[in-house]
Amino acid sequence: MVDALGAVDGPDDGRDVWPSLAGMLGNARRVLLVHHWDADGISTAAMLADEIERLSVSVRGFTPVIGNFFLSPEDRSAIEHGPGHDIVLVVDYALPVEDMGWLADRWPTAQIDHHLLRHDRIVQVNPVVDGADPGSYPSASWVATGYLDRDPDLLSVYGVVGDVGDRVRGMPVWPAVEAVLERHGLTLGDVQRIVDLIDSAYKVGDREGVIAAVDVVRRAAGDPSSLLNNDEWRGNLAAIDREMERLLSLPVTERAGLTVREIETRFNLISALGRSMAAEHGAALVINRGYFPDRDQIYLRRTDGVHVTRIIEAARERGYSAGGKKEVVGIVVPKEETDRALDLVYRLSGGRGAGAGT
């Protein structure tokens, strides 16, 4: 179905060429945006919704089950039997090949992303899989900004800061990010607070709140103060802060050069906890045994320059649901597979498996 996405007119620097947004949509009148639940996915979806509606095309958002790196049977049913759409755009969400194939069998499908997973059956607007420096495209929002030929704005910046935090200061995009901050009289700390508020919906497990957040950030594109004063998000953040304080008080161990913390929480805080630990220790592994009733979450983040892509590949080869980038991997496994998955992570991190010394 890729041919239905229109004529190709893209960059000439050796990367795959991409259709324009209008060419991608073709004769479609209804677009489904399947977007990730975090600030980058939300901000990128907001940006795309703006541009799609300017073409007089209707757009609807959808977020899969929070915490999954795949489409569950529930997700597939909702997509197939929902209000209807003519094309699917997958945004900041590294769905596995099987799920992308399922979508492409039914609708013209494209993806705007920056994760390291190539799909041959769809149009991928993704400079990173085409060989570009990930530091030049640290977020899907930054990819979309360039693809849509927009000047960097707050939506662009929310996605970047959401994904890389204050590490953005050392990246090639920093001068452009800094210019946006200065234009709006914001500090990087202000934007981090806004990102935390946007992320609060997914962290408390509010899936409908994630979908609604796309319109909230769209309406506030020129007024960041309205996001800082969003009462619902501030309430979420207060609950999250209390839970994070509890989780950070739990003991850690050292295995295979990783700082490891096991947790049980119904909040989706594994990424936030992993970021915090990696910022302090350089390489952090978090295992959450309390989010899903039948599965466990594993999250590894490294800020020490060691890439984890081989762990992602090995996990997928075993049939695990896994995704990530060069510095981060997330894996969701059935509870009976957790120890084997951890053995894999420890072994490929340089250790001796689950029994590696503490």
Residue 314 forms part of a structural domain: yes
CB 191 within 8 A of CB 161: yes
CB 143 within 8 A of CB 130: no
Q: How far apart are the first and last CA of the chain?
A: 51
Q: How many residues does the chain have?
A: 358
Q: 262: part of which helix (H) or strand (E)?
A: strand 258-263
Average pLDDT over residues 324-332: 91
CB 276 within 8 A of CB 247: no
Q: Which domain-ending residue is among 166, 200, 217?
A: 217
Residue 31 forms part of a structural domain: yes
Where is pLDDT greater, at 116 or 208? 208
- Using DSSP, state whether 9 is helix, strand or coil: coil
211 and 310 inside one domain? no
In which band, very low, low, confident or very high, does the pLDDT at 351 lie, cut at 50, 70 and 90?
Answer: low
196 and 255 inside one domain? no
Position 172 scores a pLDDT of: 96
Cα(24)–Cα(7) distance, rounded to whole angstroms? 8
Residue 149 forms part of a structural domain: yes
Burial class, 4, CB count within 10 angstroms (exposed 0-12 / middle 13-18 / buried 19+)? middle
- 160 CA to centre of own chain: 11
How would you list the strands of the sheet with 295-302, edge to edge?
253-255, 258-263, 283-288, 295-302, 328-334, 321-325
Position 305 scores a pLDDT of: 86
- Listed in sequence order, the DSSP H helices in the chain are 21-25, 39-54, 73-81, 97-104, 140-147, 154-164, 174-184, 188-203, 207-219, 224-228, 231-248, 270-281, 309-317, 338-348
Residue 353 forms part of a structural domain: no
CB 285 within 8 A of CB 300: yes
111 and 30 inside one domain? yes
pTM of the model: 0.85
212 and 255 inside one domain? no
Total domains in the fold of the chain? 2
Phi, psi of 120 (to 5 degrees): -85, -20
Range of the domain at 194: 2-217
Q: Which residue has the tokens 């936030």?
A: 272
Position 204 scores a pLDDT of: 96
Most confident of the ranges 46-55, 108-117, 124-133, 324-333: 46-55
Residue 169 forms part of a structural domain: yes
**In the predicted model, is pLDDT for residue 356 greater than 90?**
no
In which band, very low, low, confident or very high, does the pLDDT at 301 lie, cut at 50, 70 and 90?
Answer: very high
CB 337 within 8 A of CB 310: no
**In the predicted model, is pLDDT for residue 14 greater than 60?**
no
Residue 292 forms part of a structural domain: yes
Which tens digit of pLDDT belongs to each residue from 185-203? 999 999 999 999 999 999 9
CB atoms within 10 A of CB 230: 19
**In the predicted model, is pLDDT for residue 326 greater than 80?**
yes
CATH label of the domain that carries residue 257: 3.10.310.30
Q: Strands 58-62 and 30-35: what pairing?
A: parallel
The two tokens of residue 168 are 């953005």
The two tokens of residue 316 are 């997928």
211 and 286 inside one domain? no
In which band, very low, low, confident or very high, does the pLDDT at 116 lie, cut at 50, 70 and 90?
Answer: confident
CATH label of the domain that carries residue 174: 3.90.1640
**In the predicted model, is pLDDT for residue 7 greater than 70?**
no
183 and 317 inside one domain? no
CB atoms within 10 A of CB 284: 24
157 and 205 inside one domain? yes
Q: What is the mean pLDDT of the chain?
A: 91
Residue 254 forms part of a structural domain: yes
- Candidate from 6-15, 102-111, 293-302 with smallest mean pLDDT: 6-15
